[in-house]
Chains A and B, each alone.
Chain A
Amino acid sequence: EVQLVESGGGLVQPGGSLRLSCEASGFAFSTYWMNWVRQAPGKGLEWVANIKPDGSQKSYVDSVKGRFIISRDNARNSLYLQMDSLRAEDTAVYYCARGGFFDWWGQGTLVTVSS
């Protein structure tokens, strides 16, 4: 069974950093594009970033460019999101989602940016 389990969320002050992780199981992780998608409290879904299976290509939504870095470790079946210079508007539940068709999602991890 496909499983995606996010972790690493929490409360951080504006300007701070946080690293999210997504551990994958039940499928050949190293062959899939992977994504991060976020959802601010009471709001809709926003795609954040994605990464190619071998890690050689990454894309970001404009609002996080230069502040967030997506990466992966295929040996550990894990996806990461390094978030720096965090702002209040980054407060959201962050989901990892599989592939270009977003066919599997994790349960999400909550990031709260507040002083």
Chain B
Amino acid sequence: DVVMTQSPLSLSVTLGQPASISCRSSQSLVHSDGKIYLNWFQQRPGQSPRRLIYKVSNRDFGVPDRFSGSGSDTEFTLKISRVETEDVGVYYCMQSSHWPPYTFGQGTKLEIK
């Protein structure tokens, strides 16, 4: 199984400042079709997860452009250029390149300082 490891596990950021979350996979996420299926999800307190980013760097409809994803092979990053109050929650990376099983990172809790 592919193990996804996120860091840090918690993040305290001042409003308007940037934030960065790292996600590392235990093996390359390059699929046999040449693409990388790495997704990022946001889970606000008391809510269901919501997908933010798919295939490393593609933002979902309605996701603010302050969110961006990057990376390749086994190293991936979610960046928030300027943190806002509504960004509080837990962020998960998830790989869908090599399944079953699909695997998630442990989650990174973002709070406002």
Contacts and interface: CB of A to CB of B under 8 A. Distances in A.
Q: Do A and B come from one complex?
A: yes
A88 B49 CA distance: 23
Interface stretch (B18-26, B69-77, B94-102): B94-102
Given A44-B106, A47-B101, A47-B103, A105 B54 contact: no
A45 B107 contact: yes
B39 interface: yes
Contact of B101 (A61, A102, A108): A61
A101 B101 contact: no
B102 A47 contact: yes
What range describes how many residues of A lie at the interface? 20 to 34
Interface in B21-79: 37, 39, 41, 43, 48-51, 54, 60
B15 to A, nearest CB: 26
Which of B37, B50, B100, B106 gathers the greatest number of chain A CB atoms within 10 Å?
Answer: B100
A21 interface: no
B49 A101 contact: no
Interface in A21-69: 35, 37, 44-47, 50, 59-62
Interface residues of B, number: 23
Given A101-B54, A102-B51, A45 B94 contact: yes
B92 A45 contact: yes
A101 to B, nearest CB: 5
A110 B50 CA distance: 18
B51 A103 contact: yes
Contacts of B54: 101, 103
Nearest to A35: B102
Given A45-B49, A106-B48, A108-B48, A101 B103 contact: no
Nearest to B90: A44
A44 B103 contact: no
Contacts of B102: 35, 47, 50, 102
Interface of A: 35, 37, 44-47, 50, 59-62, 95, 97, 100-103, 105-108
The 7 nearest A-B residue pairs measured at CB: A59-B100, A47-B102, A105-B48, A45-B104, A44-B107, A61-B101, A101-B54
